[in-house]
Each structure stands twice: as C-alpha cells, then as structure tokens.
C-alpha cells in the first residue's frame, strides 16, 4: 500500500514537513510512505513543490 502526505504549513505553528511526518508516523512500516512538503509564498518555491510531486507520483505508478 502507498500513502502520500502533502500538507500545507500552519503559519507560526508547524512546517509542512513536520505535519507530513506527523501524519505518516501513524502508518505502519508496511506502507510505502512519501512526504511532499508544500512551499508557500514565492513562485519558484511552488514550482519546486510541483516538480517534486511529479517525481513522486511517477514512482508510485
């Protein structure tokens, strides 16, 4: 089984990577887990997140 976590950050509270890790930690090691940190703000950050998403979804196919 496979699961992807791609959660936006909570401003001043938790980063996207921290939230993704928290969610994925609830899944057993039998799951194939991937984290996609969501960048907010600048255009270049969003494009990097999109490229990472495309890379990960290709691995899941």
- Residue 9's SS3 state is coil
- CB contact burial 37-58 (16+ within 10 A = b; e otherwise): bbbeeeeeeeeebeebeeeeee
Least confident span in 22-26, 31-35, 39-43, 45-49: 39-43
Structurally, how many domains does the chain consist of? 1
pLDDT at 39 over 80: no
Which residues form the domain of 36?
A: 2-60
pLDDT at 8 over 60: yes
- The pLDDT score that the predictor gives to residue 10 is 80
Model-wide pTM > 0.75:
no
């Amino acid at each position: 089984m496979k699961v992807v976590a791609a959660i936006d950050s909570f401003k001043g509270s938790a980063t996207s990577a921290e939230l993704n890790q928290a969610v994925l930690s609830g899944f057993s090691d039998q799951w194939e887990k991937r984290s996609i940190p969501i960048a907010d703000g600048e255009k270049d950050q969003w494009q990097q997140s999109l490229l990472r998403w495309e890379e990960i979804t290709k691995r899941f196919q």
